[in-house]
Amino acid sequence: MSLIDVRHLRVRFDTERGPLQALEHVSFRIERGEMLALVGESGSGKSVCAQALLSLLPRGRAVVETGEVWFEGRNLLTLSERELRAVRGARIALVPQDPGAALHPLFTIGEQIVEALRLHQELSREEARELAAAALVEVGVPAARERLDAYPHELSGGLRQRALIAMAIAPRPQLLLADEPTTALDVTVQAQIMELLAELRRTRELGVLFITHDLGLVANYADRVAVMYAGALVESGPTREVFRAPAHPYTLGLLASAASLGQRADARLESIAGMPPDPLNLPPGCAFAARCAFAQEACARARPPFLPPMGLRQALERGVELNLAAERRVACFESERVVSRAGADS
């Protein structure tokens, strides 16, 4: 059984300017000890996805329309607030995105990590402080003990980010939702954090949802990758397969732009021509069609289903059974052409 199994998650925000479909039928699984990378442009819904798993979306504004999140035999979306609290932090921890805003400015780093520990374990203040210092050492914070008494504004962005990671792993969760945990770090520290996560995956069987822009890190560390565009997954599969033969034009574009930038650590994903669609009024068909070099007329009319690559056409033309258990999936009518084009290129 998977560590976490997310099925058909749909999330809508009710904004002043109308409903905003932030997640559209998002499904994925993470096994014990596995790292799933979630990549996509800013605003594509990655953070919303991570927050939705723990029901952390702003109440009243965000509506989870459909979906199940199976974790340790329970659907997290049906738990009571009280049951959820026992899961949050203790079983599933979140490393929030923006380290500048995610730490409470009025409490010291130590106080915040100690709180995370003492919420779930019977610990004295001193014991918790010890553990907090140990966690800071683990994520490579120099002079960890003094840092415990520092306020967030006294630390650099990189240190804050590491404090957030320390805060998440200190209570020894089983699943880590890491939302862009390495953006503020320099390359050596990045590698150190990734190695730490790799070790935790081995020793504690920690599962990781790794949200990032850095395709280099994905290639080196993630077991599988899922690509998100405008709130929907457009492609997923084992990292090696997806990187070797991307089946969605968006993935293709991402990889091409990352390659042309020489795999720079901060390779931005925005360099595909055109702008993402306005999330407030998504087009009826494929959301990527307007920027897509492969787009046909049909793409603008209907949303392509998320299926094994080439599965749909085969199913239609040859009457072949769809392999719905396949790990590799893509949401594109033209995936066959994309794959062959990509193959020709390389």
Partner 1 sequence: MSRFLLRRALWFVVTTWAVITIAFFVLRAAPGGPFSGERKLHPSVEAALRAQYHLDWPLWKQYLHTLGPLNLDERGLFGDASDVFGGLLALDFGPSMQHRDVSVNDALAQSLPISITLGSLALGIALVLGLGAALLSAQFPGSRFDRLVRLAAAAGLVLPNFVIASLLVLVFAFWIPIAPVAGWGAPRHVLLPALALALPFAAYIARLARAGLLETLSKDYIRTARAKGASESAILWRHALRGALTPVVSYLGPAAAGVLTGSLVIERIFAIPGAGTHFVASALNRDYTMAMGVTVVYAVMVFGFNTAVDVAYTLLDPRLDLEREA
Partner 2 sequence: MSAVPEQRRSWFADADFELALVQLERERPQSLWRAARERLRRRASVRWSLRFLIGLCLLSFLAPLLPLPSPAAINLANATLPPQLPWPAPGALDFEPQYWELGPLDAQMVSLRTSLFGKWRTGHWLGTDALGRDVLARVVWGSRTSLLVALCAALTSLVIGASWGALAGLSGGRVDNVLMRIVDVLFAVPTIFLVIFLLSVLDAPGAGEARLSREQIFFLVVGAVSWLSMARVVRGQVLELERSAFVEAARAAGASTPWILTRHILPNVLGLVVVNLTLTLPSVILYEAFLSFLGLGVEPPRVSWGLLAAEGAEALNPLESYAWLVLAPGCAMAATLLALSTLGDGLRDALSVTERHER
Residues lying near ligand ADP in the complex (CB under 6 A) are found at: 13, 15, 20, 22, 40, 42-48, 58, 61, 279
The C-alpha angle with vertex 203 and arms to 54 and 118, in degrees rounded to 5, equals 50
DSSP-derived 3-state class of residue 6: strand
In whole angstroms, how far apart are CA 138 and each of 29, 163, 170, 202, 299?
Answer: 28, 10, 9, 15, 49
Phi and psi at residue 71, to the nearest 5°:
-145, 125
Enumerate residues 63-92 that contact partner 1 by CB under 8 A: 81, 85-90
DSSP string covering 138-191, please? HTT-TTHHHHTT--GGGS-HHHHHHHHHHHHHTT--SEEEEESTTTTS-HHHHH
274 binds, among partner 2, Mg ion, ligand ADP, none (CB under 5 to 8 A by kind): none
To partner 2, the closest distance from the beta carbon of 42 in angstroms equals 6
In the complex, the residues that contact partner 2 under the rule CB under 8 A are: 13, 15-16, 42-43, 266, 268, 270
Which residues lie across from 79 on neighbouring strands? none
Residue pair 24/231 in contact (Cβ under 8 Å)? The answer is yes
The one among 125, 153, 240, 264 contacting partner 1 by CB under 8 A: 153
16 binds, among partner 1, ligand ADP, partner 2, none (CB under 5 to 8 A by kind): partner 2
To ligand ADP, the closest distance from the beta carbon of 262 in angstroms equals 24
To ligand ADP, the closest distance from the beta carbon of 306 in angstroms equals 18
Residue pair 31/82 in contact (Cβ under 8 Å)? The answer is no
To partner 1, the closest distance from the beta carbon of 82 in angstroms equals 8
16 belongs to the binding site for partner 1 (CB under 8 A) = no
SS (H, E, C) 51-71: HHHCCCCCCCCEEEEEEEEEE
The one among 5, 31, 68, 115 contacting partner 1 by CB under 8 A: 115
If the CB atoms of residues 86 and 134 are measured against partner 1, the closer one turns out to be 86
In the complex, the residues that contact Mg ion under the rule CB under 5 A are: 47, 97
To partner 2, the closest distance from the beta carbon of 62 in angstroms equals 11
54 belongs to the binding site for partner 1 (CB under 8 A) = yes
The two structure tokens encoding residue 343: 């193959």
Distance CA 87, CA 60 (A): 22
Site mask for partner 1 (CB under 8 A), range 160-199, x = bound: ----x--x--------------------------------
Residue pair 200/169 in contact (Cβ under 8 Å)? The answer is yes
Distance CA 105, CA 163 (A): 13
Binding segment toward partner 1, per CB under 8 A, in 11-19, 94-102, 241-249, 306-314: 94-102
* Interaction site with partner 1 (CB under 8 A): 51, 54, 56, 58, 81, 85-90, 93-94, 96-98, 101-106, 115-116, 119-120, 151, 153, 164, 167
